[in-house]
Amino acid sequence: MKGMTFDPSVPAMTLHRGGGQTPLVFPGSFPGLLLPDQVTITGQAVAFPDFASDTIWHHEWRITSGGGSFHGHQLARVGVTRLPGDWSETTVLMDAPAGTNVFFGQVRLQQTSAASHNWLNNSPIARRQPENVWITAFGSLLLEQHLGLSRLMSVYLDDDPLSATYRKLVLAREQSLGPAPGGYGLLGLGEPDTVNHPSGGDSQGGERIVGTTAGWPVYYPGDTGAPHYKFQLYTHDQLHLGAGIYQVPKTFRKTASSPPSIVDPTDYSSGWLADVRGQFGRLNIPE
Amino acid sequence: MALVSRRFPNGVHAIYLEPNTVGDWRDIDAPRNAPAKAPEEHLSAILAHSHLDYLEALVAATVTVNHAAISAAGAGLPDGQGLVFQWGGAETTHTLLDLTSLGLDYEPLVLAALGENIVTGGLPIQTDTGGRARYASIYATPTAVVLWETASRTSAPLAAVSLDYEVFAIRRPSGDRNNLAKAFDPATGEYQFGRGRISSLRQYVQTAVGGSPFFLPLGRTIDLDRGSPRFARGDGTTYDPVPAGLVVRVEPGTGAYGPSLAYAGSFTAPDAVEVQVR
């Protein structure tokens, strides 16, 4: 037999080719439907703001034995920090046509501005997607990462009736900076007024404290001097108060009269451009 | 509701569920034929329509990728981390399909399924203890389908692995291919529908019962918390690469470590649709 039969219960059309050939069943399922209109969005800004910032204050003192004499030093440096927190923003690209439940899309990305400085005085914030190529875009794409920090974007048709962007094609951005590191507080012998310095060996101490809120120390300027770095040497006589008792120099502490200061030169915002293209469609679910 | 296949004098040919039985079945303006007349308003009732496009597979192939071992990371921040964990540092690409012979002048939409999941923008394709993992994105040029991978690394290496991907390059819809509402070639058994838009000899992305489907996610697939991601796959599983032991202290290391940077949110996988290419 040759010909065609249609079975709506499958649903399927069976093509009988005769000659003992196996019938072809087509489609046997629901093909994904696409609305004919091609969607093209060019140069969509994908920007991530800088995180809130603060400072970290490092103070250190040392009394050193050497060569039969004592001497000491005090130093202080200020660094900049970034504070923990999450941020997100959703941009509506366009309305989704009625009846569609999926956007079959591609995204092409280009980073246009990166953080001004290395993260944690260590290395640049790494990009996590290839640039200038058309990436298949279902859901989310990680864009940038480093220790404690992540940034991503998502392109999808929002089909959540409870969402403010219900029935919209959206581009959502998120970034997150994790909880601040530990290690703030007193160092070594802390910040006493005087110290019983042993004959031989060193005495040292200091502190590492926040400006206002604990954050990630992302940048220290080089130890090149004022205003962010101060250093002072002291002779034995300048520190010696009596038998075995030495003055601990603390005039560079944050609470003292002449601490260092800093103007934050860093900017950890970043910018990307995204081109988005594709077609809206519907995937019907067979029962 | 009846599933019907109808062709109308204006050239429309559609297979759809009748919303009612009002009007003459031969009249495209009859209420019962509304899906045929205005398909964009009745997509849920349509199986196929001569004015819609379809996700036709230009190429379909199973490709084995031999992913190389990834070396252990260095010490990270000296004495600043409770354990070694680093992002990136092992980026590489793999050409999954050579499309040169197709002579394309565009970059096709490409789908690559690894088991039940498609490769999205950073799908975890291999995971190991401590957060060692390999992640993949997929893109196309006019001449190739390419898988781009990166990693998260710890104090131990990530072993090499061979993975099989089902790879599909989707033809950019080109509209009508002929002027025949439907055609059947008894010599080959080919059935064409909607002026050549669908052929029984070509493969399409479809939803179907049975078979070996993979999941297309329909929403966000990554969430962030504490600076760390949670990945959600189409099959409903999630992956949190950052281990609980990743804690940090101000460098140089003295004093207590801070809280864990491991993901602590409540994100779950989005809705997904099971599809096949056949």
Instruction: Provide the whole-model pTM.
Output: 0.91
A12 close to B (CB below 8 A): no
* Res. B193 pLDDT band, cuts 50 70 90: confident
Q: Quick check: B25 contacting A, CB < 8 Å?
A: no
ipTM of the prediction: 0.93
The per-residue pLDDT for B270 is 93
Give tens-digit pLDDT for B244-255: 999 999 876 678
Cα distances (Å, whole numbers) of residue A45 to A42, A48, A153, A285, B267: 9, 10, 11, 35, 26
B130 CB burial (10 A radius; 0-12, 13-18, 19+)? buried
Residues A11-16 have a mean pLDDT of 64
> Residue B102 in 3-state DSSP?
helix
- pLDDT tens-digit readout, B17-38: 899 999 999 999 999 999 999 9
With residue B36 as reference, give the H or E element that holds it: helix B34-37
The whole-angstrom separation of Cα A213 and Cα A104 is 45
Give A21's strand partners: none
Interface of A with B in 104-133 (CB under 8 A): 104-107, 120-122, 126, 128-130, 133
C-alpha–C-alpha distance, residues B94 and B84, integer Å: 28
- Of A23-32, A153-162, B102-111, give the lowest mean pLDDT range: A23-32
Q: State the Cα angle at B86 between B82 and B91, rounded to 5°.
A: 170
A47: β partners: A271
Q: Quick one: pLDDT at residue A122?
A: 84
Q: Which class for A233: exposed (0-12), middle (13-18), buried (19 or more C-beta within 10 A)?
A: exposed
Q: Residue B241: pLDDT band by 50, 70, 90 thresholds?
A: very high
Residue with tokens 């040919």: B13
Q: Report chain B's C-alpha Rg in angstroms.
A: 25
Find chain A residues with C-beta within 8 A of B80's C-beta. 120, 181
- Residue B2 near chain A (CB below 8 Å): yes
> Tell me: the pLDDT tens digits for B77-116?
766 888 889 998 789 999 999 999 999 999 999 999 999 9
Cα(B274)–Cα(A213) distance, integer angstroms = 48
Given a cut of 90, whether residue A261 has pLDDT beyond it is no
A28 Rama sector, left if φ>0, alpha if ψ -120 to 50, beta otherwise: left
Closest Cα of chain A to B10: distance in Å? 18
| Count of beta carbons in the 10 Å neighbourhood of residue A126 | 18
Residue B192 pLDDT? 84
How far apart (Å, rounded) are the C-alpha atoms in residues B218 and A159? Answer: 8
Give DSSP secondary structure letters for B201-214: TS-BEEE-SSS--E
CA A97 – CA A286 distance, rounded (Å): 22
pLDDT digits (tens, 9 = 90+) for A85-107: 999 999 999 999 999 999 999 99
What is the C-alpha separation between A104 and A157, in angstroms, rounded?
A: 10
Question: In whole angstroms, how far apart are CA A139 and each of A48, A180, A242, B169?
Answer: 19, 29, 71, 19
Using the Cβ of B221 and the Cβ atoms of chain A, whether some distance falls under 8 Å is answered with yes
Q: Is B251 on the interface with A (CB under 8 A)?
A: yes
Mean pLDDT value of segment B214-229: 95
Residues 41-100 of A with CB under 8 A from B: 56, 84, 86, 97-100
> Which of A36, A86, A179 shows the shortest C-beta gap to B224?
A86
Element counts in chain B: helices (H) and strands (E): 1, 22
List of chain B residues whose C-beta atoms are within 8 Å of the C-beta of residue A120: 77, 80, 251
Optimal mutation site among A86, A129, A150, A219, interface B, most CBs of chain B within 10 A: A150
Q: Are B73 and B86 in contact (CB under 8 A)?
A: yes
Cβ of residue B264 closer than 8 Å to a chain A Cβ: no
Residue predicted with more confidence, A29 or B118: B118
- Determine the distance from the C-alpha atom of residue B195 to the mean position of all C-alpha atoms in its chain, rounded to a whole number: 28
- DSSP per residue, A157-202: EE--TTSTTTTEEEEEEEEEE-PPPB--EEEET-S-SEEEPPSSSE
* Closest to A40 measured CA to CA, from A135, A105, A95: A105
Q: What confidence category does residue A27 fall into, taking pLDDT thresholds of 50, 70 and 90?
A: low
Chain B residues inside the 8 Å CB shell of A60: none
Q: Tell me which H or E stretch contains A236.
A: helix A236-239
Does any CB of chain A come closer than 8 Å to the CB of residue B210? no
Q: Is B203 exposed, middle or buried (0-12, 13-18, 19+ CB in 10 A)?
A: middle
Q: Chain A within 8 Å of B53 (Cβ-Cβ)?
A: yes
**C-alpha dihedral (B93, B96, B102, B106), degrees to nearest 10:** -50
* AA identity, residue A188: G
Has residue A23 got a pLDDT over 90? no
